Every structure is written in structure tokens, then in C-alpha cells.
Amino acid sequence: MSTIYAVMSRSDVRGLLMRHTDAHVTDELVTAWLAGLAGYSLAECHAALTAMGTTARRATPSDVAGSCDAARDRPAGHSASAAIPPQQRRPSTSSTATTRREYHRQAGLRGIRNAYAAMGWERNPDHDLARSVPCPFCKAKAEVVCGPLSRNRAGHKEKRDPVTRMHPSRLERARQTTSTPHAHKEIAR
């Protein structure tokens, strides 16, 4: 790979790293990046890191080199955002992030169930029941384990049950919700 631009110096690479990445800039890191970006100009590397946006903080020399190569192959006048790989672009809407979060939450629950089944362990039905509602004591959301809080701001004390790892008031609320589903729906209207 030859270029008409001058080869980057160590101080150029150090400046790029300090400006665009969160990495602690050591001599070994500068040497690795200098070797990985051999043949690329400072301007090309700077443009590639700038086009990456916030993902540049975690970029590697091969990511930058790939972006530089893509920019060289692209005809002049095309947008710089085409150099960013699609998997590194941020989702455009919050619904995409919510859908992705829900998908991964469901996958995590399936994985936990599979691990319990593979080990021959039995899940505690009270734990699953309590996780179905938010905790009135520590304010943990539904499907989230209660925090280790034993006294809330109002001064009320409530220790978590060591078996279910939930506050007793949460389990109580879950039992009330399942015993009277119609009353819960009427309140929600």
C-alpha cells in the first residue's frame, strides 16, 4: 500500500489516539497502531475516525484501515457515513432498542431455564411469581430481582427472603394479583 502522503509519525498516532479513543495511550499502543496503520496518511485516519462517531472510542487499527480502504475505493462525492459498517451504526429509533432489549431479556430467561434443566435443578415458583410484578418496597421493575435494600427512605424495614431473593411485600402483591386478576384489570382502566 503506497500513498502520496507522508507516513505518520509516533506523535501523529499519539494525537489520533488521544483525540478519538478512550484508551490510555502507552508506547506499546502507539507502536501497535503505527504498525497497523502503516501506509495510511494522518488525514485519512483522522477522517475515518471522525466518520465512525462515538464508536471510534473502541476502534482498532484494522477498523480504521478498513474505513480508509473503503474511502479509497469509493468514488469522490459519496458520504462518509458509508464507511461505517452497518453493525456499528446506532439504531435510529428507541423502539428498535426496546425491541432488541426485550429480545435479549427473553433469551436470557430461556438460557437460565435451560441451565436449570441441564443441571437438574428445580426453579422456585415463588421466585418466578414475585418477578412478575414490580416491588412496592425497593421499586424494582417487573422481571428484575429486588435490590439489597433493607430500609427505604420512609424508614420501613424489610429484609429479602433468602429463598426467593425478593422482598416479602413483592411476593404478597404477586399473589394478590394472581388471585384476583379481574380486580387488577379494573384498577388499570
**What own/partner pairs with CB < 8 Å and gap ≥ 24 does 97-104 have?**
none
Chain segment 127-170, per-residue pLDDT in tens:
888 888 999 988 888 888 888 877 777 778 888 888 888 899 99
Mean pLDDT of 78-98: 57
Contacts of 56 (CB under 8 A, 6+ apart): 20, 21, 49, 50
Residue 57 has pLDDT above 80, yes or no: yes
Backbone φ, ψ for residue 157 (5° rounding) = -105, 140
Query: In the prediction, which pLDDT does 68 show?
Result: 87
How far CA 176 is from CA of 15, 129, 134, 179, 180, in Å, comes to 62, 11, 13, 5, 6
- Quick one: what percent of the chain has pLDDT higher than 70? 81
Chain segment 1-32, per-residue pLDDT in tens:
444 556 788 999 999 998 888 878 899 999 99
- Quick one: what percent of the chain has pLDDT higher than 90? 13
Task: Give the start-to-end residue ranges of the domains of the chain.
Answer: 10-87, 91-122, 124-189
Residue 33 has pLDDT above 50, yes or no: yes
